[in-house]
């Protein structure tokens, strides 16, 4: 088993995190025991971050003690692995607007103390201003104005030089245009505030998605 990022391991091409809640699965993932520890298999078809890792992601701003703002938390699949990584000193402010997803997210947070669920709208960052300054932002919000949403949240929360990650879904922005055209327009908008660090197409894990890593200029 090799360490590929802080608290992220790889075995036979599969990414793993050490289970912070031993004996329990979050989304039906496989559990593996090795060296007296339990690891959770990270599914690239269920997590865009893992998909990006499979496609060669080099930037990884998450480590024990990281403070993260996660926009579009859903039911917490990716968040659960970040929870494993960031440990008891980390903080994940998990923003989600859908009530049904919030129920699952709240249940997850009751077992994982580093997850702070927030029922809120990512377009209205003032709703969760208590999050304060964060080291990084992860965004998976399928909205037409997702570039504006990230910029607004970065200006309010992200430390200068901090890393943000955004999953751009072309079909949520403009179904009449080719994905490449949509991606180029969004990246151009992001360049007004951020330095582009990496761009990764997520096929075959997610169709018509571009995973973009940016650095906040402040």
114-166 pLDDT tens trace = 999 999 999 999 999 999 999 999 999 988 899 999 999 999 999 999 999 99
pLDDT beyond 90 at 179: no
44-216 CATH fold:
Rossmann fold (3.40.50)
Q: What is the 3-state secondary structure (H, E, C) of the chain?
A: CEEEECCEEEECCEEEEECCCCCCCCCCCCEEEECCEEEEECCCCCCHHHHHHHCCCCCCCCCCCCEEEEECCCCCHHHHHHHHHHCCCCEEEEEECCHHHHHHHHHHHHHCCCEEEEECCCCCHHHHHHHCCEEEEEECCCCCCHHHHHHHHHHHHEEEEEEEEEEEEHHHHCCCCCHHHHHHHHHHHHCCCEEEEEEEECCCCCCCEEEEEEEECC
* Lowest mean pLDDT, pick from 47-51, 197-201, 203-207: 203-207
**pLDDT of the residue at 172:** 81
**What pLDDT is stored for residue 177 in this prediction?**
82
pLDDT at 11 over 80: yes
Q: How confident is the model at residue 208 (pLDDT cuts 50, 70, 90)?
A: confident
pTM of the model: 0.95
- Average pLDDT score, the chain: 95
Instruction: Check whether 213 has a pLDDT greater than 80.
Output: yes
């Amino acid at each position: 088993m090799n360490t590929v990022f802080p608290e992220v391991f790889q075995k036979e091409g599969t990414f793993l995190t050490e289970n912070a809640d031993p004996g329990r699965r979050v989304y039906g993932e496989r559990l593996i025991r090795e060296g007296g520890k339990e690891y959770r298999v990270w599914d690239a078809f269920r997590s865009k971050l893992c998909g990006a890792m499979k496609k060669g992601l080099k930037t990884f701003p998450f480590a024990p003690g990281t403070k993260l703002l996660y926009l579009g938390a859903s039911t917490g699949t990716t968040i659960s692995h970040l929870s494993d990584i960031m440990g008891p000193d980390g903080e994940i402010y998990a923003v989600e607007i859908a009530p049904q997803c919030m129920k699952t997210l709240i249940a997850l947070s009751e077992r994982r103390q580093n997850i702070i669920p927030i029922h809120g709208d990512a377009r209205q960052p003032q709703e969760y201003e208590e999050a304060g300054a964060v080291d990084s932002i992860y965004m998976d919000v399928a909205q037409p104005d997702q570039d504006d949403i990230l910029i607004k949240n970065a200006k309010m929360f992200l430390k200068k030089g901090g890393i943000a990650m955004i999953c751009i879904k072309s079909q949520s922005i403009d179904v009449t245009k080719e994905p490449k055209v949509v991606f180029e327009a969004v990246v151009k908008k992001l360049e007004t505030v951020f330095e582009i660090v990496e761009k990764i197409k997520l096929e075959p894990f997610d169709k018509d998605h571009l995973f973009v890593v940016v650095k906040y200029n402040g």
